[in-house]
Amino acid sequence: MRTSTVIAHRGASRLAPENTLAAFRLAQQAGANWIEVDVALSADGQAVIFHDERLDRCTNGHGWLLRHTLIELQQLDAGSWFADHFCHERIPTLQALLHWACQHSIGLNLEIKAVVGREAETVQALVMAYQATLAETGMVPILLSSFNPLSLQYARSALPEVPRALLTEAIPADAVLRLTRLGCEGLHFCADLADPEVIRTLANAGFNLRAYTVNNPTQADSLLAMGVNAVFSDIADLPVTKDNPATTP
């Protein structure tokens, strides 16, 4: 598997409302070939692209996303909070995004945003969307990630062929043990908490390292020089001078 040195964080989220098709299109137009998105669960068991547990910040809706059906969610304005001319943006379904990504040869890092206690259902919704897309359009390169180890365990059982990464803030001292137990190919961590020595240890152990969220080219180059494989950025065309793409066997 191969990911870009710069992965567009929720699309081109400096230029358009995060996790919307507008943000994904602008990222692709800027040259991004990998995009990070958040996968959540609707009340009727559908996989949708949305970061927060509540609707208030990024839509004109209110309350918990998990308490709204897909039809209710897709009636919301998911763009005006960013700028008036994005008022027609809607919350995308994962299946619609996968179709779009396949058409444009875009890889997707799908972060599983499962509410505690709903991990199995969230992963199942993701799996259904992914398998339906495979049947209709063919392979979409994806990488699964989550802060929630249980979500990763369910994903490992349901889609063992799809690579997974553990999300953390600081890199834990027992990172090698955790990643090995979860069968993860990599670790995603907060760029501001980078530890060069630990990064070297994990890189030497064969794990891929990706840091979030990096909007400064100098910081990106510093991380890549440490051995980080890729950075997540709100700037889809963030200029970096080092090319160190992640690869796995």
Please identify every residue annotated as catalytic. 9, 51
Task: Give the chain's end-to-end CA distance (angstroms, integer).
Answer: 7
User: Is residue 43 a contact partner of residue 66, using CB atoms and an 8 Å limit?
Assistant: yes
- Rg (C-alpha) for the chain, rounded Å, is 17
Q: Which amino acid is at 54?
A: R
- Count CB neighbours of 174 within 10 A: 10
- Count CB neighbours of 192 within 10 A: 12
Q: How far apart are CA 28 and CA 21, in angstroms?
A: 10
Which residue's entry shows tokens 């039809």?
A: 71
